[in-house]
Amino acid sequence: MTPREVAVLVLALGGVFFALVAAVGLIRLPDIYTRTHAASKSETLGAVLALSAAVVAFDSGITTVKAALLVAFMFLTNPTAAHAIARAADDQGIAPWTTEDEE
Amino acid sequence: MTTVTQILLGAAAAFVLVSLVALYRVVSGPTMPDRVVAVNVVGSNTVIVIALLAAALGEAVALDIALVYALLNFLLSIAISKFTVERGGVL
């Protein structure tokens, strides 16, 4: 395998792994705030890794720049969107999940 | 089919499967923000799948589609969280 193939393989595998972590967190965690935690961080890292694989795979100039722009855009917007949703949930009065019962 | 193409197509298929898993939270989320977060994750995965397919098939035009999809995905989350709060100003 050439170094480029190894780089694409490692980046794609890392992206798939972190997307899987995000999906597991989205399914298993107990409330909206913990779910946004899983969805924002893991999903952003998975997106950046997988899009970096696409950046390495492209070989011509302007498409590489476009894919790199996509990486930067995902890196900025994904946590921002998760933060906005979590804050909207807090403003709606959705209570955070706790372990003790306080009635 | 080169090795890079195979890797990228396999990664795209894996992302589709992960999106199907996340779709469970869209259907059964107890509150509305749960569903919005899950839809956001599925949309991000869609952007990644489009970009990976663009790289695998050599279709550089599809990257523009991925960029517009990412913009729409971000706008959806911001708009929904803004309109569900009465005063606005969620950011």
Task: List chain B domain ranges.
Answer: 3-83
Of A1, A60, A77, the CB nearest to B3: A1
* Paired tokens of A7: 């780089």
Cβ of residue A36 closer than 8 Å to a chain B Cβ? yes
Report yes or no for ipTM above 0.90: no
Q: Which amino acid is at B80?
A: I
* Paired tokens of B87: 């005063």
Task: Give rounded-to-5 percent helix, strand, coil for chain A.
Answer: 80, 0, 20
Nearest-CA residue of chain A relative to B39?
A39
Give φ, ψ of B37 to 5 degrees. -60, -45
Going by pLDDT thresholds of 50, 70 and 90, the confidence category of residue B71 is very high
pLDDT, tens digit, for every residue of A62-79?
A: 888 888 889 999 999 999
pLDDT, tens digit, for every residue of A50-62?
A: 999 988 888 777 8
Average pLDDT (A28-33) is 88
Is pLDDT at B91 greater than 60 in this prediction?
no
Cα–Cα distance for residue pair A52/B89, rounded to 1 Å: 33
